[in-house]
Structure 1
Amino acid sequence: MTQRGERQADFAYQAVYRYMINLINEVSTDTRVKLPSLRQLAARMNVSISTIQYAYSLLEKEGRVYSVAKSGYYAWPMSANPTAWLGGDLLDRLYAAARRPAMVVLSGDEPALQASLDATLLRLERELVRQYPGNLQPWVQPCGVWELRAALAARYTSSPTRCWHADDVYIGADLRGVLDILVEVLGLKGTTVIVESPCDWLILRLLQDAGVRVIELPWTVQGRLDSETLERLLRDEPVHLVLLSSAVSLPSGVAMSAEDRLTVAQRLDRYGCWLLENDSLGELSREVPHTPLRDLVNPDRLIVFSSFEKILGSEAPYGYLLSRRMSAELQRQFLLRSFRLSSIRQRAIARLYQSGRIEQHLCALRQQLREQAAHMGLRLAHHLGDQVTYRVPAAGATFWLGSNRAVDMRQVFQYLLARQVVIAPGELFSVSGLHHQYLRVSHAFNGQPSLESALMALSDALRQAQTG
């Protein structure tokens, strides 16, 4: 009886998530509907507020709900009329459209959809439940279970001087929650941060909401970072930290050369600047691996963040970070958040690393993504011809397309919505008006007939939206 009860509590967020999905699907009006508060749902379902928060965070990431400060959560309307999506924030409109039935969603970057480990994780969980028949979590572990923290520390250790320990690793409910903690611990409000551009919209929105002054460092058309501009900014601006990818930049899919990594590391060390390294796609790089940026900079001014979602999928949404410094404050902030994470699921993920099963999975996933990227390149050449320029991405599941003619990309976006296709306009990946002539499309797409139709519609949209 104890075993069953513990397992039910351990996966309470899944029951809450399913309940909320049904509740949201009941929304049939063209207006936004306020959802129950965290406290109301916690009382209604007899679970902790943190469990409700976790379920809401998953729904928000999927674009099913959105939050309003000091007001609560709201469900997006299920309007079937594309003209209802004309107003409002572009990202909100993208999320609302992506959850509509029968939409061809080319806007995401979900590489793990191509090689699921759900069955393996469930089998490991069943074994672990038998192994831990008593209390599945005998003590509070607000920073994540020790087994998974130790597995990640071992994976990131590369030498006796570039080593990590379990106490340097912190695991949260999702990447957004982990980044929220970093903003608080690093005291980023009101400071200046340099970010590579284009940059993931989750990161940009979070920094904006936190009152951070963001300076964008664009990738050049040759696929390189402008190290001279970086030098000038570090010299002339009060830069608190620099946010860069460890191996491959999102969404451009560009890998920094070994020479550029060394140059960037030297400049960061010269000015004593913190590096916040995004390792979300580090495991999926299809190129010959170079020494990662984190192994070239001062480890005492380094924080690495990532999540399991890009390689394991939505069943492993946890975000994590590695840091040698500020351990007391990080532990305090994770304790205050009271993330309710599945200890069994975390241990199952740890087993994937400990057994070497993760390497087999990554090898298969990289190969599948490589093949799909090649096929997508052929389709782009066939359907879009000289309308766009692009390079085959070094990792991930998307192409970063640049229009060869001046177009109104918002008009392209709206034209495609009317034809049940969702793309991600490039302006979403900037806070200073960059990338208006770009868009992101996914190549991890299995519905081939729909993909062919979607690319033909995109070609038509680019022609219709020309401005010059």
Structure 2
Amino acid sequence: MKLRGERQADFAYQAVYRYMINLINEVSREKPVKLPSLRQLSTRLKVSISTIQYAYSILEKEGRIYSVAKSGYFAWPVAANAQMLASGDLLERLYAAARRPAMVVLSGDEPALLGSLDGALLTLERQLIRRHPHHLQSHSQPSGVWELRAALAARYTSSPTRCWQADEVYIGADLRGVLEILIDVLGLKGTVVVVESPCDYLILRLLQGAGVRVIELPWHADGRFDLTTLEHLLSHEPVHLVLLSSVVSMPSGNVLSIQERLQVAHLLDRFGCWLLENDSYGELSFAPSPAALRHLVNPERLVVFSSFEKTLGPEAPFGFVLSRQLSRELQRRFLLRAFRLSSIRQRAIARLYESGRFDQHLQTLQQRLGEQAQAMSHRLDTHFEGRVSYRMPVAGASFWLQSMTAVDMRRVFQRMVTQQVVIAPGELFSLSGLHHQYIRLSHTFSGHPNLHVALDTLAEALQQSQI
């Protein structure tokens, strides 16, 4: 099989992805089917194992496949997908609906849909391979290549006292893998972790699955952070760690004021608590934002995590973490995890940073996201006519909508699925039953011919599902 045949400009993993989609459609019928191993597919398709891993990571994120430790990857059966749409875990139902053909998927938050650097990455990869055909792929670097780690360290350095070194940066195959390592290294099993709410369901499910006691700290409806409750929790609970966003909390779109940031930093220092900072949206504000929380807290009790996917897209699925105090244990865990990372692609991303191309791309992406948010705001006001309320987002690619009347949001979700539209009910972003009257709705979907129909359908579903 020649993966470059019809579309010469593709990354190899994109061709592998399309091949796997066809394979899954052929074999996935009545029960889960074991898929070929990474090594088997690498031999069959004549591409690297890391390329196969990228494609599998995307398929797993989309909910088309799932992995079993020491057993490999399996495709969800079509019959089970149909059953999931009507019953069972809500997140599984969302994944099952989103991967059905012809669905209008409004549930995501994928900023990079509005701008891609895959062409620039491909060009840089080819240049690197021509100049260094063997040297750049000759040895494994389990924590990521030095060039990219150094580029990230430089980007996160803000002063002589707030500085990072390359050996304090660790890069993994994807954000899930990096977070799994962090949960182990921080020893979170059985501990108490305070998490801002709403919170990304990937993070919540990983913490829950690891046996962490999660205490959710919801934002006030007016966008204020509940500092009184945070102080009470730190005083009366054995809180090991607090998980907060660096700049913008998504999907709510809330931003801590400078006074709130200073108070949070004071409370964390006073109680000797670790901060786990989520920087996934740290560079996706539409306008200049206040300094990140990490610039105010004790750097010795700070861990930062993020990924390239929100800014560069699926062609750069790597997750990464920065930490000063956990270096030895992180090195060991990354070595044992043995992520299979493309050194060429990592170096290409590093070149984007060093050349200034990334900053140019980011500026364009931020502007387009702001324009799309304004356009979606006009659509929401037109189609919903007071049925929902929202605060204008300041970052990212989604709106956090609240129904103005009490509705059965699961019923709304199911009604929308029958109309081939997927939304993300707010309860997905909580483990304790919060946000039942909310929806996360993507605003990067403009241009789709059925968007206006989908919004009208959602407005009707909200009206018909009132409690």
TM-score where L is the length of structure 1:
0.92
Deviation string 1:294-314 (CA, Å, 9 cap, x unpaired) is: 010000100000000000000
| CA apart distance, 1:352 | 0.8
Contact 1:148 1:350 in 2 (8 A): yes
Residue 158 of structure 2 corresponds to: 158
Conservation of the 8 A alpha-carbon contact between 1:82 and 1:417:
no
Report what 1:223 is aligned to: 223
Aligned equivalent of 2:312? 312
Equivalent positions of 1:246-265 (< 5 A) are: 246-265=246-265
CA contact (8 A) 1:251 1:400 kept: yes
What's the CA shift for 1:57? Answer: 2.7
For residues 240 and 304 of structure 1, do their structure 2 counterparts lie closer, same or farther at Cα, with a shift above 3 Å needed?
same
Q: Which secondary structure does the structure 2 equivalent of 1:276 belong to?
A: strand
Which letter does structure 2 place at the counterpart of 1:144?
A: G
Match in the other structure for 1:302:
302
Secondary structure of residue in 2 paired with 1:163: coil
3-state SS of 2:306 partner: strand
* Alpha-carbon distance change, 374 to 84 in structure 1, aligned in 2, over 3 angstroms: same
Alignment of 1:313-392 (within 5 A): 313-392=313-392
Q: Deviations over 1:171-224 (max 9, x none)?
A: 000000000100111111111100000000000000011000000000100112
Give the conservation status (yes or no) of the 8 Å contact 1:27–1:78. no
Match of 1:198 in 2: 198
Whole-Å separation in 1 of the counterparts to 2:122 and 2:12:
16
Change (3 A) 1:36 1:14: same
How many residues end up aligned between the 2 structures? 456
Measured after TM superposition, the shift of residue 83 of structure 1 is 6.8
SS, match of residue 223 in structure 2: coil
Partners of 1:84 and 1:360 lie apart in 2 by 42
Give how far 1:337 is off.
1.1
Q: 1:82 to 1:47 in 2, by over 3 A?
A: closer
Residue in 1 that maps onto 2:7: none
In the superposition, relative to structure 1, how do residues 82 and 403 fare at CA in structure 2: closer, same or farther (>3 Å)? farther
Which letter maps to 1:376?
A: M
Helix, strand or coil: the match of 1:283? coil
Counterpart amino acid of 2:122? L
Choose 129-138 or 78-87, whichever is displaced more. Answer: 78-87
The alpha carbon displacement at 1:256 in A equals: 1.5
Name the CA distance, whole Å, in 2 between partners of 1:93 and 1:282.
Answer: 30
Say whether residues 1:35 and 2:38 are aligned partners. no
- Distance in 2 (CA, whole Å) between partners of 1:192 and 1:15 is 43
Identity of aligned residues (%): 69
Aligned pairs for 1:155-194 (under 5 A) are 155-194=155-194
Which letter does structure 1 place at the counterpart of 2:186? L
Q: Which residue of 1 aligns with 2:89?
A: 89
Partner amino acid, structure 1, of 2:252: S
Contact 2:84/2:92 (8 A) holds in 1: no
Q: Write the distance in 2 (CA, Å) between the matches of 1:134 and 1:72.
A: 30
- Note the 1:14-163 alignment, pairs <5 A: 17-27=17-27, 29=29, 31-36=30-35, 38=37, 41=40, 45=44, 55-67=55-67, 73-78=73-78, 85-163=85-163
Q: Which amino acid aligns with 1:352?
A: L
Distance change (3 Å), C-alpha of 1:240 and 1:175? same
SS in 1 for 2:413: helix
CA distance in 2, matches of 1:449, 1:256: 37
Look up the SS of the partner of 1:233 in the other structure. Answer: helix
Q: Which whole-Å CA distance do the structure 1 matches of 2:223 and 2:287 have between them?
A: 14
Query: Which AA in structure 1 matches 2:280?
Result: S
Matched position secondary structure for 2:445: coil
Q: 1:280 to 1:268 in 2, by over 3 A?
A: same
Shift of the 125–111 alpha-carbon distance from structure 1 to 2, 3 Å rule, reads: same
1:3 corresponds in structure 2 to none
Does residue 395 of structure 1 match 2:395? yes
Name the amino acid aligned to 1:279.
D
Counterpart residue type for residue 308 of structure 1 = F
Q: Structure 1 residues 343 and 423, CA, compared in 2 at 3 Å: closer, same or farther? A: same
* Cα distance in 1 between the residues matched to 2:340 and 2:57: 12
Q: Distance in 2 between matches of 1:354 and 1:347?
A: 10
- 8 Å CA contact 1:35–1:72 kept in 2: the answer is yes
Residue 239 (structure 2) aligns with: 239
Structure 2: unaligned runs, 5 residues or longer: 1-10
What secondary structure sits across from 1:445 in the alignment?
coil
The answer on whether the counterparts of 1:34 and 1:72 sit within 8 Å (CA) in structure 2 is no
Instruction: Please provide the CA RMSD for this pair.
Output: 2.2
Q: Hey, what's the Cα distance between the residues in 2 that align with 1:321 and 1:284? A: 18
User: Which consecutive residues of structure 1, in runs of 5 or more, have no partner in the other structure?
Assistant: 1-10
Distance in 2, matches of 1:330 and 1:82, equals 41
| Residues 216 and 269 of structure 1: CA distance in aligned 2, closer, same or farther (over 3 Å) | same
Superposed, 1:450-465 pairs within 5 Å as 450-465=450-465
Q: Whole-Å Cα distance in 2 between the matches of residues 125 and 55 of structure 1? A: 18
Question: How far is the alpha carbon of 1:43 from its aligned partner?
Answer: 8.7
Match of 1:8 in 2: none
Per-residue Cα deviation, 1:244-297 (whole angstroms, up to 9, x for no partner): 000111111112211111111110011010000000000111232212100100
Q: 1:140 to 1:82 in 2, by over 3 A?
A: closer
Q: 1:72 to 1:352 in 2, by over 3 A?
A: closer
* Maintained 8 Å contact 2:31/2:79: no
Secondary structure of 1:26's counterpart equals helix
